[in-house]
């Protein structure tokens, strides 16, 4: 018969134990922090009508132009695996009229995103994001609260060396004039621009500002700055945000060329960068998008949001932050009868806490003790034919190597007492 091997789709990142345990601990911290700030979870569809992303993210963006997993279903509808979360959250906000239920809506999500990119360190085709959006707050207090919350998250995870970069993209009043100025500037440097930037010159000239191509970088080095075009409201919004961040001691850098790859941003945009991540250095990113809810058919509603790249985050999180839970005791059965005797003890002790392990294969004492050592248990409880004759198990302290006997009639109780004692003294 022909041998075959089935594998995941290229670049689809899966998370195996023990790493999956660390992911869960980090995710739990995220949920706790956000729920503390009044966010609630949205569990969203993974598949959306393609139009949603074309209309929200923008036709001339990397995502929509070349990164989407788009295909037709059996009734020939064009569907897309979501490449990001914001569009879906806004779609849900409108679809379920969430704005009517609460004046302010703070929503978060956790889950996979899909982009057809070249897989490499920190870049996958199925990757995961932790994200959040706030609807209904127009002022800079919301921007500041969200940024501080993110910084607190990195701090809690003991991640160091993350730099917050900030910019403002202006609004519908002042950005058009800037676009024109920038277009005029870029047109004089057409030869120096890469194909992408040249092609986007009409639709999306701002993208040239954060193009990674070294030649483009050089060409835009002395480009006009958006800050010179801000209207009074945008200027005040940015100044207000900066002074709030200073009040609470959150350090940041202003990066006047930070534009982000999506069309929907207005005013504040930001990235949290970690040098440790190399070329894929943005661990979280987001900003304000005051027009998107309306553009997708809702009432005008200001909004602010972010997404953290889960894979990139985990590259920065030290393994020590989430030590694997260790079982407390290894129950070691040396024969079938001992196994029958220990089985009820084992299942009764493992409710909610992982207290015991029990090998079902009755391997040699030596190999079971070796396994117990590897698992890092505190005690091993050994039952073989001799112990059965005496109606007592041998209990061995794995650290001190001390041994004592425990009568069969109170095995469960004795193990519970030992467990409580150990927890109290640690
Ligand atoms: P980049 O500039 O690295 O391509 P981006 O601007 O496309 O990032 P966003 O759309 O803002 O990224 O997504 C938010 C975060 O999601 C990023 O900061 C990053 O941490 C993560 N991310 C984006 N694309 C990928 C990917 N293909 N694989 C893993 N993580 C990703
Ligand atoms: Mg990208």
Q: Whose CA is nearest to atom 20 of ligand 1?
A: 309
Q: DSSP letters along 83-136, please?
A: S-SHHHHHHHHHHTTHHHH-SSEEEEEEEEEE-----BTTB-SEEEEEEEEEES
Q: What is the pLDDT of residues 106-126, one digit of tens each?
A: 999 999 999 999 999 999 999
Of 25-39, 197-211, 386-400, give the lowest mean pLDDT range. 197-211
User: Comparing C-alpha atoms, which of 306, 266, 311 is closest to residue 86?
Assistant: 306
Q: Percent of the chain scored above 90 by pLDDT?
A: 88
Q: Whose CA is nearest to atom 12 of ligand 1?
A: 285
Domain at 19-174+230-316: CATH architecture: 2-Layer Sandwich (3.30)
What pLDDT does 263 receive? Answer: 75
What pLDDT does 268 receive? Answer: 98
Quote the mean pLDDT of the chain.
Answer: 95
Q: Which of 82, 169, 280, 311 to mutate to test the pocket of ligand 1 (most atoms within 8 A of CB)?
A: 280
Separation of CA 303 and ligand 1 centre (Å): 20
The answer to whether 194 touches 171, Cβ cutoff 8 Å, is no
pLDDT band at 364 (very low <50, low <70, confident <90, very high): very high
Domain ranges of the chain: 19-174+230-316, 329-425
CATH 3.30.429.10 is held by the domain 329-425: no
What pLDDT does 204 receive? Answer: 86
Q: What ligand is nearest to the CA atom of residue 129?
A: 1
**DSSP bridge pairs for 315:** none
What pLDDT does 212 receive? Answer: 86
pLDDT band at 58 (very low <50, low <70, confident <90, very high): confident
Q: Tokens for 324, please give them.
A: 């694997």
Q: Which of 58, 110, 169, 285 to mutate to test the pocket of ligand 1 (most atoms within 8 A of CB)?
A: 285
Ligand 1 near 124 CB (within 6 A): yes
What pLDDT does 322 receive? Answer: 87
The answer to whether 94 touches 295, Cβ cutoff 8 Å, is no
Assess whether pLDDT exceeds 90 at residue 3. no
Give the number of the atom of ligand 1 that is nearest the alpha carbon of residue 312. Answer: 20
Ligand 1 near 307 CB (within 6 A): yes
The answer to whether 267 touches 290, Cβ cutoff 8 Å, is yes
Q: What is the pLDDT of residues 348-362, one digit of tens each?
A: 999 988 899 999 999
pLDDT band at 262 (very low <50, low <70, confident <90, very high): confident
For the residues 159-186, what does the mean pLDDT come to? 95
Q: What is the pLDDT of residues 181-191, one digit of tens each?
A: 999 999 999 99
Q: Whose CA is nearest to atom 22 of ligand 1?
A: 309
Q: What is the pLDDT of residues 266-305, one digit of tens each?
A: 999 999 999 889 889 999 999 999 999 999 999 999 999 9
Separation of CA 315 and ligand 1 centre (Å): 14
What pLDDT does 350 receive? Answer: 95
pLDDT band at 65 (very low <50, low <70, confident <90, very high): confident
Distance CA 230, CA 237 (A): 10
Assess whether pLDDT exceeds 80 at residue 250. yes
Separation of CA 361 and ligand 1 centre (Å): 47
Neighbour-count burial for 292-322, b at 16+ CB within 10 Å, e otherwise: bbeebebeebbbbbbbbbbbbbbbbbeeeeb
Ligand 1 near 298 CB (within 6 A): no
């Amino acid at each position: 018969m022909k041998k075959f091997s089935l594998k995941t789709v290229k670049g689809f990142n899966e998370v195996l134990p023990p790493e999956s345990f660390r992911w869960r601990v980090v995710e739990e911290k995220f949920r706790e922090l956000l729920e503390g700030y009044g966010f609630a979870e949205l569990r969203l569809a993974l598949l959306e009508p393609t139009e949603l992303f074309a209309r929200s993210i923008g036709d001339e963006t990397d995502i929509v132009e070349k990164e989407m997993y788009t295909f037709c279903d059996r009734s020939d509808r064009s569907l897309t695996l979501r490449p990001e979360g914001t569009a879906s959250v806004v779609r849900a906000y409108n679809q379920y009229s969430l704005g009517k239920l609460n004046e302010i809506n703070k929503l978060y999500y956790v889950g996979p995103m899909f982009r057809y990119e070249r897989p490499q360190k920190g870049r996958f085709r199925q990757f995961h994001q932790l994200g959040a959006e706030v609807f209904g707050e127009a002022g800079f207090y919301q921007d500041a609260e969200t940024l501080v919350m993110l910084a607190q998250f990195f701090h809690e995870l003991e991640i160091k060396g993350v730099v917050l970069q900030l910019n403002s993209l202006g609004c519908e009043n002042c950005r058009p004039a800037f676009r024109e100025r920038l277009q005029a500037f870029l047109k004089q440097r057409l030869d120096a621009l890469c194909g992408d930037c040249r092609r986007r010159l009409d639709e999306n000239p701002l993208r040239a500002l954060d193009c990674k191509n070294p030649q483009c970088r050089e060409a835009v080095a002395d480009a006009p700055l958006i800050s010179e075009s801000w209207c009074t409201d945008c200027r005040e919004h940015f100044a207000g945000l900066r002074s709030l961040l200073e009040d609470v001691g959150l350090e940041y850098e202003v990066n006047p060329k930070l534009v982000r790859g999506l069309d929907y941003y207005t005013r504040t945009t930001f990235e949290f960068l970690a040098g440790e991540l190399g070329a894929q250095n943005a661990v979280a990113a987001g900003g304000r998008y005051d027009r998107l809810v309306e553009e997708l058919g809702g009432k005008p509603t200001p909004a602010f949001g972010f997404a953290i790249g889960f894979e990139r985050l985990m590259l920065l999180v030290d393994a020590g932050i989430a030590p694997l839970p260790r079982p407390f005791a290894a129950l070691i059965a040396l024969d079938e009868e001992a196994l029958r005797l220990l089985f009820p003890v084992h299942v009764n002790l493992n409710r909610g806490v992982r207290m015991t392990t029990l090998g079902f294969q009755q391997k040699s004492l030596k190999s079971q003790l070796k396994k117990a050592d590897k698992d890092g248990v505190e005690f091993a409880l050994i039952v073989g034919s001799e112990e059965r004759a005496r109606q007592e198990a041998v209990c061995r302290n794995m650290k001190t190597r001390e041994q004592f006997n425990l009568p069969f009639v109170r095995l469960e109780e004795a193990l519970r007492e030992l467990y409580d004692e150990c927890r109290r003294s640690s």
